[in-house]
Amino acid sequence: MEKKPLSLFLALLFSVAVLPALAQAHAFPVRSDPRVGWTVAVSPPKVTIWFDGELEPAFSTITVYNAAKQQVDKHNSRVSGSDNSVLEVDLPPLSAGSYRVYWKALSKDTHVTEGDFAFAVAEKAK
């Protein structure tokens, strides 16, 4: 009598463990380059964010602004061709200062997540 609820519970747990391979969800960032809140020594060629799930390319964007709130990226925000969970945008050579990255990610099942973070480019050593 006691075995039935246990079996049912184990079956449900098994389902939860196995079914994720078939499913989709919100896309949350896992890491980025430049790293969130860090100061880099040289201007990075691009901003890259790795997410924990595949993104819908047409509706996932990334932009970069300087401290004067001017957009400084190359307006070529894109989901990486080689990895659908990576969002990136190219940057021109940036001067020293602080910058803010704004991103919006649409997961394959159309859950939207969005956010922003800062990074800085260090003054060049003289």
Residues 6+ apart with CB under 8 A from 51: 27, 28, 29, 30, 85, 86, 87, 105
67 near another protein, rule: CB under 8 A: no
Give whichever of 36 and 72 is closer to another protein, judged by the CB atom. Answer: 36
Binding piece for another protein, criterion CB under 8 A, among 12-20, 40-48, 64-72, 82-90: 12-20
User: CB of 10: closest distance to another protein in angstroms?
Assistant: 11
**Measured from the CB atom, is 26 or 124 closer to another protein?**
26
Question: Which CB atom, from 69 or from 126, has the smaller least distance to another protein?
Answer: 69
By CB under 8 A, residue 6 contacts another protein: no
User: Do residues 73 and 90 touch, judged by C-beta distance below 8 A?
Assistant: yes
Q: Which residues bind another protein (CB under 8 A)?
A: 9, 12-13, 16, 19-20, 22-26, 28-32, 35-38, 52-53, 56, 58-59, 106, 109-117
